[in-house]
Structure 1
Amino acid sequence: MVRDKVTALVGDILKRNGIDRPVDANADLVSQGVTSVDMVQLMLAIEAAFDITIPQSGITPENFRSVATITSLVNKLAPVEAAN
């Protein structure tokens, strides 16, 4: 499931920053401790995990605000088989 993969990727980044807590799908990632550098790493991890390329127009703060918004973006871009 897309949301589970996105949650795991965000959790990995938070753990690298010494933050070990559950990731709420609707929580603002910046307020959870995700930095701008982490966002770049997260974007690259999302592209690799789902075999997609996020277009320049998709790289916005709104699309990377939370697990839920990232999941929505991936669902728009990912082939159905990549989401499973």
Structure 2
Amino acid sequence: MATADTIRTILAQHGKLPVDAATLNEDSDLYAAGLSSFASVQLMLAIEEEFDIEFPENLLNRKTFSTIATIVEVVTELSKDQQAA
């Protein structure tokens, strides 16, 4: 199950942010906080590995990785879809 704390931990390890991920609100703009396009790919790969999911092409965009809350929502949905399959 994806939680904000889990995503924050992955973000801290792979997001290469200039700020401490623990200080970010769930609705903080991750790109404004320093998330680069390259780091967002690293973040996506780490999330896929952690939750054993795969992001479909239509979700590989800036909006999907814009906030911790959005990532939790998307990962939760993908996990449900994975379990139903």
The answer, yes or no, to whether TM exceeds 0.5 is yes
Aligned-residue RMSD, C-alpha = 2.1
Assess if the C-alpha contact under 8 Å between 2:48 and 2:55 holds in 1. yes
Assess if the C-alpha contact under 8 Å between 2:29 and 2:67 holds in 1. yes
Offset, 1:66: 0.5
Offset, 1:13: 3.2
Offset, 1:12: 2.2
Matched to 1:23, the amino acid is L
Assess if the C-alpha contact under 8 Å between 1:11 and 1:23 holds in 2. no
* Counterpart position of 1:58: 59
Matched to 1:24, the amino acid is N
Between the two proteins, what is the percent identity of the paired residues?
31
Unaligned 5+ segments in structure 2 are none
Q: Deviations over 1:26-54 (max 9, x none)?
A: 00001111111100000001100100011
Offset, 1:8: 1.0
Q: 2: CA distance between counterparts of 1:23 and 1:61?
A: 18
Matched to 2:69, the amino acid is A
Unaligned 5+ segments in structure 1 are none
Aligned length: 80
TM-score, with length taken from structure 2: 0.80
In the alignment, is residue 44 of structure 1 matched against residue 45 of structure 2? yes
Matched to 1:30, the amino acid is Y
Assess if the C-alpha contact under 8 Å between 2:27 and 2:67 holds in 1. yes
